[in-house]
Amino acid sequence: MALHPRIALGAVVLAGGRAARMGGADKASIEIDGRNLLDHALDAVVDASEVVVVGAWMHTERPVTFTREDPAHGGPAAGLLAGLDAFVGDPVQVAVLAVDMPRVTLRTMSRLRDASQGRDGAVLVGVDGRRSLAYVLDTGRLRDVRPPYGEEHGMALHALLADLDLAAVPEQGEETHDVDGWEDLRDLAAE
Protein backbone atom coordinates (compact mmCIF):
# COMPACT_ATOMS: atom_id res chain seq x y z
CA MET A 1 0.00 0.00 0.00
CA ALA A 2 1.43 3.37 -1.05
CA LEU A 3 1.98 5.95 1.67
CA HIS A 4 1.15 8.78 -0.71
CA PRO A 5 -1.63 8.24 -3.26
CA ARG A 6 -0.65 9.04 -6.84
CA ILE A 7 -2.42 12.07 -8.33
CA ALA A 8 -2.17 13.42 -11.88
CA LEU A 9 -1.63 17.09 -11.04
CA GLY A 10 -0.68 19.04 -7.95
CA ALA A 11 -0.09 22.77 -7.79
CA VAL A 12 2.30 25.01 -5.88
CA VAL A 13 1.38 28.69 -5.61
CA LEU A 14 4.37 30.79 -4.62
CA ALA A 15 3.12 33.53 -2.29
CA GLY A 16 5.94 33.96 0.21
CA GLY A 17 8.04 36.75 -1.26
CA ARG A 18 9.07 39.92 0.55
CA ALA A 19 7.31 42.33 -1.88
CA ALA A 20 10.13 44.81 -1.23
CA ARG A 21 9.02 47.14 -4.05
CA MET A 22 5.59 47.28 -2.44
CA GLY A 23 6.77 48.10 1.07
CA GLY A 24 6.38 44.50 2.24
CA ALA A 25 2.68 44.27 1.33
CA ASP A 26 1.09 40.83 1.40
CA LYS A 27 0.66 40.32 -2.34
CA ALA A 28 -1.72 37.37 -1.94
CA SER A 29 -4.32 39.61 -0.31
CA ILE A 30 -4.08 42.49 -2.83
CA GLU A 31 -7.27 42.84 -4.85
CA ILE A 32 -7.64 43.28 -8.57
CA ASP A 33 -10.89 42.97 -10.48
CA GLY A 34 -12.69 42.59 -7.14
CA ARG A 35 -10.75 39.48 -6.03
CA ASN A 36 -7.47 38.91 -4.25
CA LEU A 37 -4.41 37.67 -6.12
CA LEU A 38 -4.46 34.31 -4.33
CA ASP A 39 -8.00 33.64 -5.58
CA HIS A 40 -6.89 34.46 -9.13
CA ALA A 41 -4.01 31.98 -8.79
CA LEU A 42 -6.26 29.28 -7.33
CA ASP A 43 -8.64 29.70 -10.28
CA ALA A 44 -5.74 29.08 -12.67
CA VAL A 45 -4.94 25.74 -11.01
CA VAL A 46 -8.52 24.66 -10.32
CA ASP A 47 -7.96 21.32 -12.07
CA ALA A 48 -5.16 20.33 -9.66
CA SER A 49 -6.16 17.59 -7.22
CA GLU A 50 -4.14 19.20 -4.44
CA VAL A 51 -2.82 22.74 -3.98
CA VAL A 52 -0.01 23.92 -1.72
CA VAL A 53 0.43 27.64 -1.11
CA VAL A 54 3.92 28.65 0.00
CA GLY A 55 3.24 31.75 2.06
CA ALA A 56 1.33 33.11 5.02
CA TRP A 57 -2.06 31.60 5.83
CA MET A 58 -5.15 33.41 4.67
CA HIS A 59 -8.76 32.38 4.21
CA THR A 60 -9.60 30.64 0.93
CA GLU A 61 -12.81 29.13 -0.37
CA ARG A 62 -10.87 26.17 -1.75
CA PRO A 63 -9.11 23.73 0.58
CA VAL A 64 -5.35 24.26 0.29
CA THR A 65 -2.29 23.44 2.36
CA PHE A 66 -0.17 26.36 3.53
CA THR A 67 3.53 25.93 4.16
CA ARG A 68 6.73 27.98 4.26
CA GLU A 69 10.26 27.30 3.18
CA ASP A 70 12.69 27.02 6.09
CA PRO A 71 14.06 29.56 6.65
CA ALA A 72 11.42 31.81 5.13
CA HIS A 73 12.11 34.02 2.10
CA GLY A 74 14.45 31.52 0.46
CA GLY A 75 13.33 32.43 -3.03
CA PRO A 76 11.26 30.64 -5.68
CA ALA A 77 13.43 27.49 -5.86
CA ALA A 78 13.25 26.97 -2.09
CA GLY A 79 9.54 27.74 -2.15
CA LEU A 80 8.87 25.26 -4.94
CA LEU A 81 10.73 22.49 -3.13
CA ALA A 82 8.99 23.28 0.19
CA GLY A 83 5.69 23.09 -1.66
CA LEU A 84 6.66 19.77 -3.22
CA ASP A 85 7.43 18.38 0.25
CA ALA A 86 4.02 19.46 1.59
CA PHE A 87 1.88 17.37 -0.76
CA VAL A 88 -0.19 14.62 0.81
CA GLY A 89 -0.51 12.92 -2.56
CA ASP A 90 2.27 12.13 -5.01
CA PRO A 91 1.64 14.24 -8.14
CA VAL A 92 2.87 13.07 -11.53
CA GLN A 93 3.09 16.73 -12.56
CA VAL A 94 3.19 19.94 -10.58
CA ALA A 95 1.85 23.28 -11.78
CA VAL A 96 3.88 26.15 -10.37
CA LEU A 97 2.53 29.70 -10.33
CA ALA A 98 3.56 32.96 -8.70
CA VAL A 99 0.67 34.54 -6.82
CA ASP A 100 1.27 37.90 -8.52
CA MET A 101 0.29 36.82 -12.07
CA PRO A 102 -3.48 37.42 -12.20
CA ARG A 103 -3.73 37.12 -15.99
CA VAL A 104 -2.65 33.47 -15.93
CA THR A 105 -5.78 31.36 -16.27
CA LEU A 106 -6.81 27.72 -16.35
CA ARG A 107 -6.46 27.98 -20.14
CA THR A 108 -2.84 29.14 -19.72
CA MET A 109 -2.05 26.22 -17.44
CA SER A 110 -3.77 23.80 -19.86
CA ARG A 111 -1.51 25.06 -22.67
CA LEU A 112 1.50 24.43 -20.44
CA ARG A 113 0.30 20.90 -19.65
CA ASP A 114 -0.23 20.17 -23.35
CA ALA A 115 3.22 21.49 -24.25
CA SER A 116 4.87 19.46 -21.48
CA GLN A 117 3.88 16.11 -23.01
CA GLY A 118 7.00 14.10 -23.77
CA ARG A 119 9.22 16.70 -22.05
CA ASP A 120 10.31 17.44 -18.49
CA GLY A 121 7.84 20.32 -18.39
CA ALA A 122 6.86 23.65 -19.89
CA VAL A 123 7.29 27.31 -19.01
CA LEU A 124 5.34 30.41 -19.98
CA VAL A 125 7.52 32.94 -21.79
CA GLY A 126 6.93 36.59 -22.60
CA VAL A 127 7.25 38.21 -26.01
CA ASP A 128 10.83 39.08 -25.04
CA GLY A 129 11.60 35.36 -24.49
CA ARG A 130 11.96 35.71 -20.71
CA ARG A 131 10.61 32.93 -18.54
CA SER A 132 7.85 33.84 -16.17
CA LEU A 133 6.97 32.08 -12.94
CA ALA A 134 4.36 29.80 -14.50
CA TYR A 135 5.43 26.20 -15.11
CA VAL A 136 4.18 22.66 -15.38
CA LEU A 137 6.91 20.22 -14.34
CA ASP A 138 7.36 16.47 -14.23
CA THR A 139 7.63 15.77 -10.51
CA GLY A 140 10.02 12.84 -10.92
CA ARG A 141 12.45 14.95 -12.97
CA LEU A 142 12.15 17.78 -10.45
CA ARG A 143 13.16 15.36 -7.70
CA ASP A 144 16.07 14.19 -9.88
CA VAL A 145 17.57 17.70 -10.03
CA ARG A 146 16.85 18.62 -6.42
CA PRO A 147 19.99 19.81 -4.62
CA PRO A 148 21.04 18.42 -1.22
CA TYR A 149 18.85 19.66 1.62
CA GLY A 150 19.60 23.27 2.56
CA GLU A 151 21.30 24.20 -0.71
CA GLU A 152 18.02 25.34 -2.29
CA HIS A 153 17.81 28.42 -0.06
CA GLY A 154 18.71 31.40 -2.23
CA MET A 155 19.14 29.24 -5.34
CA ALA A 156 17.82 30.79 -8.54
CA LEU A 157 14.91 28.89 -10.05
CA HIS A 158 16.59 28.83 -13.47
CA ALA A 159 19.61 27.15 -11.83
CA LEU A 160 17.40 24.49 -10.23
CA LEU A 161 15.66 23.77 -13.53
CA ALA A 162 18.70 24.18 -15.82
CA ASP A 163 18.99 20.47 -16.69
CA LEU A 164 15.29 20.01 -17.47
CA ASP A 165 13.95 19.88 -21.01
CA LEU A 166 11.25 22.56 -20.87
CA ALA A 167 8.97 23.58 -23.72
CA ALA A 168 8.66 27.36 -24.08
CA VAL A 169 5.02 28.40 -24.34
CA PRO A 170 4.51 31.95 -25.68
CA GLU A 171 2.19 34.16 -23.68
CA GLN A 172 -1.18 35.19 -25.06
CA GLY A 173 -2.35 38.66 -24.17
CA GLU A 174 -0.97 39.89 -20.86
CA GLU A 175 -0.42 36.49 -19.19
CA THR A 176 3.14 37.26 -18.05
CA HIS A 177 2.20 40.65 -16.57
CA ASP A 178 3.03 40.38 -12.88
CA VAL A 179 2.58 42.69 -9.92
CA ASP A 180 6.09 43.64 -8.82
CA GLY A 181 5.18 47.17 -7.73
CA TRP A 182 2.23 49.48 -7.21
CA GLU A 183 2.59 50.77 -10.78
CA ASP A 184 2.07 47.25 -12.10
CA LEU A 185 -1.10 46.95 -10.06
CA ARG A 186 -2.34 50.27 -11.42
CA ASP A 187 -1.58 49.18 -14.99
CA LEU A 188 -3.41 45.88 -14.57
CA ALA A 189 -6.42 47.59 -13.00
CA ALA A 190 -6.56 50.01 -15.96
CA GLU A 191 -6.74 47.21 -18.57
Q: Which of 54-63, 71-80, 116-125, 131-140 has the lowest mean pLDDT?
A: 71-80
Inside any domain, residue 141: yes
38 in a domain, yes or no?
yes
Question: Is 1 contained in some domain?
Answer: no
Q: What pLDDT does residue 185 have?
A: 56
Domain of 77, in residue numbers: 6-190
14 within domain boundaries: yes
pLDDT at 187: 60
Residue 40 pLDDT greater than 80, yes or no: yes
The structure's pTM equals 0.90
Query: How many domains are there within the chain?
Result: 1
Q: What is the tens place of the pLDDT at every residue in 83-127?
A: 999 999 999 999 999 999 999 999 999 999 999 999 999 999 999
* 94 domain-assigned: yes
Does residue 39 fall inside a structural domain?
A: yes
The angle subtended at Cα 40 by Cα 101 and Cα 135, nearest 5°, is 50
What is the model's pLDDT at position 28?
Answer: 75
13 φ/ψ sector (left φ>0, alpha ψ -120 to 50, else beta): beta
Whether pLDDT at 129 is above 80: yes
What one-character DSSP code corresponds to residue 119? S
Least confident range from 35-39, 102-106, 183-187: namely 183-187
Q: 107 in helix, strand or coil?
A: helix
Say which CATH number the domain at 101 has.
3.90.550.10
Q: Which carries the bigger pLDDT value, residue 20 or residue 49? A: 49
Question: Is there a domain that residue 161 lies in?
Answer: yes
Between 17 and 98, residue with greater pLDDT: 98
Buried b (16+ CB within 10 A) or exposed e, 31-69: ebeeebbbbbbbebbeebebbbbbbeeeeeeeebebbbb
44 SS3 class: helix
Q: Cα–Cα distances in Å, from 135 out to 2, 21, 59?
A: 27, 24, 25
Give the rounded percent of residues in the chain with a pLDDT score beyond 70: 87
Across all residues in the chain, what is the average pLDDT?
88
